[in-house]
């Protein structure tokens, strides 16, 4: 008789781990969720329907994948741990709409792989419990890709979610907030306590919902230069914008004159700190720096 228990039920999770002789790898940030209600809530938050294709990163033993497969048109999951490929083939054997790729998602041509995996041209959403140690690179890989991801609903460390969702003038606001908010609208949907994981992590998680903007939040003449500027502004957190810009771009007279002129034209006081500048102000400053750029830059 078929076992009707969901994978995330603690007793079922333990059985699966025991059956396959699995020990969890701390180096891969493996923490398995053992609370089915939270998985239901994630799928609900993501509004997963038969009219959506889903990408998952780090499916583990398939607890979230199971829920996604029940609701989505297709699911494409990337798993880096070779030991889990066999486990997933076992736990998800009843689902014909799931493709598991034993690949590092960061080394993947997302457009090519999704073209191969998805039969129908439906909206794509990323729904995943991301490993803490590599959250930011994975998110930026999707955001900077030409793959048309409509939404990302990801479980990440609560503190990181707060940084991504932060507003100017707050302690959490920084270059990561800007990098994500440039592309996406951000919202923390709900908090996931550390107690519902095996093994239990040291911190709580949050479900972060990112919705693709029709166009970037601000218009910049050079995206690469814009992101270099925003990183520079937070290089030394306690320093002024002026000190940070010199630290990154240089202190020679020509560079200082270029920075000073750009700041004046953007009407930004160089004694302010980076965390007080809005995306619009950073965009304005970046555009002025591009307009005034000297040959040495």
Whole-number pLDDT of residue 32: 82
Q: Return the higher-pLDDT residue of 1 and 162.
A: 162
Residue 26 token pair: 């701390």
- Integer angstrom CA distances of residue 182 from 116, 172, 222, 267: 29, 16, 13, 21
Number of Cβ atoms within 10 Å of the Cβ of 21: 7
- Give the pLDDT confidence of 124-148 residue by residue, as tens digits: 999 999 988 889 999 999 999 999 9
Residue range 10-212 in CATH 2.70.150.10? no
Whole-number pLDDT of residue 71: 97
Annotated binding site: 31, 33, 58, 79, 104, 129
pLDDT grade for 247, boundaries at 50, 70 and 90: very high
- Give the pLDDT confidence of 178-194 residue by residue, as tens digits: 999 999 999 999 999 99
Where exactly are the structural domains of the chain?
A: 10-212, 223-291
Average pLDDT, integer, range 106-124: 95
Whole-number pLDDT of residue 61: 93
Residue range 223-291 in CATH 1.10.8.100? yes
- Give the pLDDT confidence of 196-232 residue by residue, as tens digits: 988 888 899 999 999 999 999 999 999 999 999 999 9
Average pLDDT, integer, range 248-261: 96
Helix 241-249 and helix 253-265: axis angle, to 10°?
A: 140
How many Å apart are CA 240 and CA 276, to the nearest integer? 10
Q: Is the pLDDT of residue 296 over 50?
A: no
Annotated binding site for S-adenosyl-L-methionine: 31, 33, 58, 79, 104, 129
3-state SS assignment for residue 209: strand
pLDDT grade for 35, boundaries at 50, 70 and 90: very high
Whole-number pLDDT of residue 1: 43
């Amino acid at each position: 008789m078929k076992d009707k228990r969901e994978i995330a039920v603690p007793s079922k999770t333990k059985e699966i781990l025991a059956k396959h002789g699995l020990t969890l790898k701390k180096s891969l940030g493996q923490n398995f969720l053992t609370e089915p209600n939270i998985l239901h809530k994630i799928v609900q938050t993501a509004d997963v329907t038969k009219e959506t294709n889903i990408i998952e990163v780090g499916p583990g033993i398939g607890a979230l994948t199971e829920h996604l497969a029940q609701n989505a048109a297709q699911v494409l999951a990337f798993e880096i741990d070779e030991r889990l490929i066999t486990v997933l083939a076992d736990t998800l054997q009843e689902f014909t709409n799931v493709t598991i790729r034993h690949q590092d998602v960061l080394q993947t041509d997302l457009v090519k792989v999704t073209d191969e995996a998805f039969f129908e041209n439906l909206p794509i959403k990323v729904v995943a419990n991301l490993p803490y140690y590599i959250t930011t690179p994975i998110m930026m890989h999707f955001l900077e890709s030409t793959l048309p991801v409509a939404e990302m609903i990801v479980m990440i460390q609560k503190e990181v979610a707060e940084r991504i969702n932060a507003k100017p003038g707050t302690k959490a606001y920084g270059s990561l907030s800007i990098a994500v908010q440039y592309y996406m609208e951000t919202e923390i949907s709900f908090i996931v306590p550390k107690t519902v994981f095996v093994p239990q992590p040291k911190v709580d998680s949050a479900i972060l919902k990112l919705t693709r903007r029709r166009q970037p939040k601000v218009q910049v003449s050079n995206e690469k230069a814009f992101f270099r500027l925003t990183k520079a502004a937070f290089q030394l957190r306690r320093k002024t914008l002026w000190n940070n810009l010199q630290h990154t771009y240089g202190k020679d007279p020509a560079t200082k004159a270029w920075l000073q002129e750009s700041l004046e034209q953007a009407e930004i006081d160089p004694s302010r700190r980076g965390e007080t500048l809005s995306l619009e102000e950073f965009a304005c400053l970046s555009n002025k720096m591009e307009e005034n750029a000297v040959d040495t830059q």
